[in-house]
């Protein structure tokens, strides 16, 4: 298998994995918008986490930022799979940022709130998997400073 | 065509996400409950188990279905206290036990509050249970802690222990829970202001203030 083909496969897997994160974060965003996270009715630990002040930034649910992040990961991985090299570089940066945010959110759950929400843990696992995939992608030989349209190389 | 394929895929996923998010929102949007007029409680001794604070003739009634082990109920207890002072004599508060099965010690806590109520210290126990929620919620034997709280409040401990096991106290908790079930209450805290449920997103100090102010506009103030 050539490095280029291997790269396309990994970008495709990254896009598929990010869809799982997108679904999870979208569900949590809807829960926050309907106010479900402000009441008890399901798992007590989930409500301890999602109802806390750490679950919102500037009045917006953190899950909404997560949805946006996963959607961007999906978009960049899709473009990278189609040969846009700059998309690959941006994908690496974005996944690194999401990885750091995930570490912070895990710290908050473990040491501040002393509670874990299974949806948040699923999101953390998804981000870790994405980070692993991004690390595994072999670097492209094309210079990322090129115009992406110019570096576009159809794989078939 | 291949040049545009990634744009088409990304656009399709964006549309699918927005569409499914909107459908989920519609499905989960809260349907607010109303207390029918035949189920109104005046709070003037209509039933001895009703726990009322504030002016019994207040034009605004806030009825809460709460669970002592529910963290949002604990936060709400603090700001309801402030609202009572802020809106005196125009607000009265009714608390109903609605222990959720997912909370291990919620029912025992409700029994403890009712047992303290039999000695005239319901609201004191209510306050202690919420204040110490983080402690007893994670204890191996919460009942021992409830006994220590009763001692701290100066209750007759033997009587308190007997009352916690009594049929009378169980009936009080069950009757509140039956009322909640018959109204369609499913989560805690569920709050009604003048018989209209407050939307989940309004269960904040400012949201409750706005709802109380709107209710006061409809009914004449006592001040």
B33 touches chain A (CB under 8 A): no
| Prediction ipTM score | 0.82
Contact, B189 vs B65, CB < 8 A? yes
Contact, B32 vs B185, CB < 8 A? no
Average pLDDT of every residue of chain B = 88
Give the residue with greater pLDDT, B48 vs B61: B61
Q: What is the pLDDT of residues B186-208, one digit of tens each?
A: 888 999 999 999 988 788 888 89
Q: Which 3 state secondary structure label does DSSP give A142?
A: coil
For residue A33, list chain B residues with Cβ-Cβ distance below 8 A: 25, 201
Helix (H) or strand (E) holding A146: none
Question: To the nearest whole percent, how much of chain A has pLDDT over 70?
Answer: 85
Q: What is the pLDDT of residues B122-134, one digit of tens each?
A: 999 999 999 999 8
Mutation target vs B (from A25, A40, A49; most B CBs, 10 A cutoff):
A40
- Counted across chains A and B, CB pairs separated by less than 8 A come out at 94
φ, ψ at B64 (rounded to 5°): -115, 135
Tell me whether residues A39 and B21 touch, CB distance under 8 A. no
Q: What is the pTM of this model?
A: 0.71
Please state which of the ranges A12-26, A44-58, B33-47 shows the lowest mean pLDDT: B33-47
Question: To the nearest whole percent, how much of chain B has pLDDT over 90?
Answer: 67
B71 touches chain A (CB under 8 A): yes
Q: What is the pLDDT of residues A26-81, one digit of tens each?
A: 999 998 888 877 777 666 677 778 878 888 898 899 999 999 999 999 999 999 99
For residue B102, list chain A residues with Cβ-Cβ distance below 8 A: 40, 42-44
pLDDT value for B172: 93
Tell me whether residues A40 and B72 touch, CB distance under 8 A. yes
Give the residue with greater pLDDT, B41 vs B105: B105
For every residue of A94-126, DSSP letters joined together read HHHHHHHHHHHHHHIIIIII----HHHHHHHHH
Q: Report the C-alpha gap between A142 and B111 in whole angstroms.
A: 71
Find residue B191's DSSP bridge partners: B64
Cβ-based neighbours of A148, under 8 Å, separated by 6 or more: A79, A84, A85, A86, A87
Mutation target vs B (from A16, A19, A34, A37; most B CBs, 10 A cutoff):
A34
For residue B6, list chain A residues with Cβ-Cβ distance below 8 A: 78-79, 81-82, 84
For residue A154, list chain B residues with Cβ-Cβ distance below 8 A: 2-3
Q: What is the pLDDT of residues B132-148, one digit of tens each?
A: 998 998 888 899 999 99
Mutation target vs A (from B5, B8, B17; most A CBs, 10 A cutoff):
B17
Tokens 């545009």 -> residue: B4
Least CB–CB distance from B67: residue in A31, A38, A40: A40
Least CB–CB distance from A38: residue in B6, B25, B200: B200
Give the residue with greater pLDDT, A91 vs A45: A91
Chain B nearest-CA residue for A75: B10
B54 touches chain A (CB under 8 A): no
Least CB–CB distance from B102: residue in A33, A44, A78: A44
Q: Which of A13, A143, A130, A136 is nearest to A78 (CA)?
A: A13
pLDDT value for A41: 64
């Amino acid at each position: 298998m050539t490095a280029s083909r291997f790269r396309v496969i990994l970008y495709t897997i990254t896009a598929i994995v990010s869809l799982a994160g997108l679904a999870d974060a979208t569900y949590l965003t809807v829960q926050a918008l309907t106010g479900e996270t402000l009441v008890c009715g399901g798992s007590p630990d989930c409500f301890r986490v999602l109802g806390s002040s750490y679950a919102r930034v500037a009045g917006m649910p953190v899950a909404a930022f997560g949805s946006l992040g996963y959607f961007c990961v999906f978009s960049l991985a899709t473009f990278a799979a189609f040969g846009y090299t700059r998309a690959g570089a941006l994908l690496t940066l974005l996944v690194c940022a999401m990885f750091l945010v995930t570490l912070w959110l895990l710290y908050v759950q473990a040491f501040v709130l002393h509670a874990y929400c299974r949806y948040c843990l699923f999101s953390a696992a998804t981000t870790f998997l994405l980070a692993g995939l991004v690390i595994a992608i072999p670097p492209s030989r094309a210079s990322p400073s090129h115009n992406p349209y110019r570096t576009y190389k159809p794989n078939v | 065509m291949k040049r545009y394929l990634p744009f088409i895929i990304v656009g399709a996923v964006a549309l699918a996400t927005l569409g499914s998010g909107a459908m989920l929102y519609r499905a989960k949007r809260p349907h607010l409950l109303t207390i029918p007029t035949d189920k109104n409680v005046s709070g003037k001794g209509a039933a001895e188990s009703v726990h009322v604070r504030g002016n019994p003739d207040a034009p605004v009634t806030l009825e809460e279905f709460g669970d002592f082990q529910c963290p949002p109920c604990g936060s709400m207890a603090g700001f309801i206290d402030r609202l009572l002072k802020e809106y005196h004599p125009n607000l009265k508060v009714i608390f109903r036990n609605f222990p959720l099965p997912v909370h291990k010690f919620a029912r025992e806590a409700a029994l403890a509050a009712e047992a303290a109520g039999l000695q005239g210290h319901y609201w004191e126990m209510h306050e202690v249970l919420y204040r110490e929620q983080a402690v007893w919620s994670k204890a191996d034997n919460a009942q021992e802690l409830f006994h220590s709280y009763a001692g701290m409040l100066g209750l007759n401990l033997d009587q308190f222990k007997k009352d916690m096991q009594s049929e009378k106290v169980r009936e009080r908790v069950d009757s509140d829970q039956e009322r909640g079930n018959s109204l369609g209450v499913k989560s805690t805290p569920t709050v009604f202001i003048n018989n209209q449920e407050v939307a989940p997103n309004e269960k904040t100090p400012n949201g409750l203030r706005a709802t109380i102010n709107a209710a006061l506009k409809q009914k004449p103030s006592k001040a």
